[in-house]
Structure 1
């Protein structure tokens, strides 16, 4: 079995979240609980009618809602940089520290490309160091 998408006890995902049991692409992420992913009282998890495990807290796992398993939705990550370089450190810190493992690498790569384009005066390496500390 492949490694779970989320690992480690310090991540804000729920203890029963499918992201702790399955790799990215092997579970869906819904915006919130719904009738499309009822709670199974037998094992405490949520599933689609087809039996696909579902996470209902996208903000906790750092993934946008998507039917990754059900529809094969490809995963993408998009930084939305602030309007001002003064707000960059706080934004990057929040984004990087709430990202699930695997997503962090994608965010760092995207930041390394986008920051110089949006804020050419910012030292990208220093900004990422501050964000990751």
Structure 2
């Protein structure tokens, strides 16, 4: 069985999370554990009733709950910058450190575009570099 809690890798997802085993769109994300996504004691993972791997901690993988695999829901990353430039670094830090594996590149591109649009006086590359430190 996979280690349930991985430490030291910088990502908040559980060690058994399908986001660590599958690319985005190949698993569902549920709001919380429920009867619709029971725990399988044989392999330590959760699956939908249709057998699709499911994550039950959307806040840890940085994805809103949705049946991505089950219903073919497209991953839509949304970057909504704060109104105050003083809050930008904190927002970006949370954005990149809470991003789902595989979504980081998309979020960086969206953030870069939004920073240029919302705060034209800010260098988006420097702002994003600060977010990773």
Counterpart Cα distance in 2 of 1:23 and 1:123: 31
How far 1:130 sits from its partner (Å)?
1.0
1:3 corresponds to: none
1:104 corresponds to: 104
Between 112-121 and 68-77, report the one with greater CA deviation: 112-121
Asked if residue 131 in structure 1 is aligned to residue 131 in structure 2, the reply is yes
* Aligned pairs, number: 126
1:32-76 Cα distance to aligned partner (Å, 9 max, x none): 111211112222211111111110011111222111110000011
Counterpart Cα distance in 2 of 1:118 and 1:9: 32
1:116 corresponds to: 116
How far 1:84 sits from its partner (Å)?
0.2
Partner of 1:128, secondary structure, is helix
Question: Which portions of structure 1, spanning 4 or more consecutive aligned residues, are displaced by more than 6 angstroms?
Answer: none
Counterpart Cα distance in 2 of 1:62 and 1:116: 23
Unaligned runs of 5+ in 2: 1-7
Counterpart Cα distance in 1 of 2:126 and 2:46: 41
Counterpart Cα distance in 1 of 2:19 and 2:67: 13
Counterpart Cα distance in 2 of 1:129 and 1:40: 40
How far 1:89 sits from its partner (Å)?
0.6
Unaligned runs of 5+ in 1: 1-7
Alignment of 1:1-133 (within 5 A): 9-133=9-133
Counterpart Cα distance in 2 of 1:43 and 1:115: 43
How far 1:111 sits from its partner (Å)?
1.1
Counterpart Cα distance in 2 of 1:20 and 1:131: 22
Partner of 2:23, secondary structure, is coil
TM-score, reference length from structure 2: 0.87
